[in-house]
Amino acid sequence: MSKAKRSMNPLTFDVVVCGSLHLDIMVHAHHLPRSDETAIGSEWGYKCGGKGRNQAEMAARMGARTAMIGRIGNDDFGLRLTESLDRSGVDRSHVSVDPIAGSGMSVAILETSGNYGAVIVSGSNLKLDPYDACQSWALLGGAKVLILQNEVPESLNAALARLARKQGATVVLNAAPARPMASEFLEQIDILVVNRVEAAMLAGIAVDNLADASRAAPRLRSATRDVIITLGGDGLLLILRDGTEIEVLAEKVKVVSSHGAGDSFIGALSAKLASGATLESATRHASRLAGYFVSLSEVEKETADLASC
């Protein structure tokens, strides 16, 4: 991979995440409600989330020096979110406070099967300005890896990706939630990570298994972009920019909660890349970590020694 020559000064951070912070309201229920149904839940609680925050926390828990660029509201939800970054050891000096918009939030329903569904309200996440984010990147001193997701405006992602790539960073885009993206933006991405739903939308064909992922691969990769298509319990397909395809089968585990599995994968992948691991090695490690992560309860996820996995 050809990269711009780095400064001789050591980077302060291994990973910088620019993205969303949400306070999740977690509801446990036997099943997701159908249209017009009021489902009965068993318990509920708060959990600090947002794909950006989750991925930053995981990268830090894996030992990477990690910073977050984001925006919260001037409210109790925002306070909880910044406290969670502090507990995780994530630098939040460039998480700004919006004086008007409320903090992002979501309601997630966890089924007894371990599956879940969620609704997000982005709030202050949509008020993060591209110029401010680029200034934050510069003030933080850059990083080896920049992580982006689709829970903030594309104009922000595009501006920051362009700057980071010029400075030699590896730009990882977790294209979730699924949405159309400009080809000019995708040209700034080094590693595109999508699940089966996102891969299907971007490739324009159904992606249900590894064979489907292989058929979608030529539509997603480029000469300057590697792609990872994750398939949950069916494993994943790594497609290198030269067209090489590597299947990684998922380890068989009892799924306790799949909530946050994708974010754990991204955080672990990026931390390993920042440590100097090859993309294949980092991908295999992140797959094992995600498998272990879904075997844990929500309480166990908070305290598990994930760095030793």
How many Cβ atoms sit within 10 Å of the Cβ of residue 142? 21
Angle subtended at Cα 168 by Cα 166 and Cα 171, rounded to the nearest 5 degrees? 85
pLDDT value, residue 1 = 42
Local confidence band at 117 (pLDDT 50, 70, 90 cut-offs):
confident
pLDDT value, residue 19 = 96
Spell out the residues 6+ positions from residue 120 whose beta carbon is closer than 8 angstroms to its own. Answer: 22, 104, 105, 106, 151
- Average pLDDT for 301-305: 75
pLDDT value, residue 151 = 93
Q: Which of 88-102, 199-213, 259-273, 288-302 has the lowest mean pLDDT?
A: 288-302
pLDDT by residue (tens digit) across 55-67? 999 999 999 999 9
Q: Which CATH number fits domain 13-21+50-104+126-308: 3.40.1190.20, 3.40.50.720, 3.30.950.10, 3.40.50.1820?
A: 3.40.1190.20
Over pLDDT 70: what percentage of the chain? Answer: 96
Rounded CA-CA distance 254/73 in Å is 38
Q: Is the pLDDT of residue 259 over 90?
A: no
pLDDT value, residue 5 = 38
